[in-house]
Amino acid sequence: MSASVKSLLSSLAGPGPHRVMRGNLGITGQPGVVFTPESGLNLPAVVFGHGWLTGVGNYRKLLEHLASWGFVAAAPDTERGPIPSHLNLATDLLTTLDICNGVRLGDGRISVHPDRLALAGHGMGAGAAVIAAAQRKVAAVAALYPAPTAPSAESLAPDIETPALIVAGAADLDSLSCNAVPLAAAWGGPAILRTIDKASHNGIIEGRRALAALGASKHEPRTERTTRAVLVGYLVHQLLGDKTYKPFADPEAVVPHTQLVDPHAAPEPEVEAPSKRQLLQAVQLLRK
């Protein structure tokens, strides 16, 4: 494990150097929020999709964190009900992307570079980001703890050549609510699948009132810190080309508190436990 990577991860887990400003996308006709550095031209932008039964308020710290590191971070606040349309959320992500790319933000001191755009999301929002990426070329995709969607993200992934970071909880890979492995295996471009140690798929959600009523796990500060550090490191390298953060986009680099997963690795064969009869026969053979 490289000490420099440990240092980078620790630094990225904390706030960046920029003062953060907040805006309301509603004035453009698209419900949602946008967080930006205080000023900057040709900035990178990340458009983020929220998870099931959540809204942008549940990701405020994550969006602010991205902005503190120099990103325009925007998120539509739609499809919040129990039966959301993943296609509609994907459409709203693209609309938000157009707003970031085509409108001078703040008092005109903030603009976005058209070649420095990323789509990201959590849970169903990760799937919606993939659906959107299948319709619009961007510089990077980040799927955080992706959940199944309709249409399925993995059915669209083979035609997407955009580099992708896919993050999952270590214990969630075999869960029906997580499609990280098939998504990574199907991805058409370069993709990295990392699991976060001791993380659950809802650990990054803040103040989960609706989900808590359904028995969802609590907010996990360690999961949130590691996830946002890995996310920012990956995006800084992919959108800005900063080689300092290359390990976060390297499919072979060791990053603390995470594990690389090969989505194409064959599962280990299950070994059937011996029956009582077989055990007795083995004992009798040993006695002879």
Asked if 131 contacts 149 with a C-beta cutoff of 8 angstroms, the reply is yes
Q: What pLDDT, on a 0 to 100 scale, did the predictor assign at position 213?
A: 53
d(CA 264, CA 83): 32
The model's pTM is 0.88
Map out the domains of the chain as residue ranges: 3-287
Asked if 173 contacts 183 with a C-beta cutoff of 8 angstroms, the reply is no
* Backbone dihedral region for residue 79 (phi beyond 0: left; psi -120 to 50: alpha; all else: beta): left
- Residues sharing a CB contact under 8 Å with residue 51, sequence separation 6 or more, in sequence order: 58, 121, 122, 123, 124, 125, 145, 147, 202, 205
Q: What pLDDT, on a 0 to 100 scale, did the predictor assign at position 1?
A: 47
What the block records as the tokens of 134 is: 């299948």
Tokens 């803040």 correspond to 206
d(CA 81, CA 183): 25
Q: What is the pLDDT along the chain (288 residues), one digit of tens a residue?
A: 455 999 999 999 999 999 999 999 988 899 999 999 998 999 999 999 999 999 999 999 999 999 999 999 999 999 999 999 999 999 999 999 999 988 777 676 899 999 999 999 999 999 999 999 999 999 999 999 999 999 999 999 999 999 999 999 988 888 888 999 999 999 999 999 999 998 888 889 987 555 555 555 577 889 999 999 999 999 999 999 999 999 999 999 999 999 999 998 855 434 455 555 655 555 555 455
Q: What is the CATH number of domain 3-287?
A: 3.40.50.1820
3-state secondary structure 66-123: HHHCCCEEEEECCCCCCCCCHHHHHHHHHHHHHHHHHCCECCCCEEEEEEEEEEEEEC
The amino acid occupying position 169 is G
What the block records as the tokens of 109 is: 């001191």
- Residues sharing a CB contact under 8 Å with residue 120, sequence separation 6 or more, in sequence order: 46, 47, 48, 49, 126, 129, 141, 142, 143, 144, 231
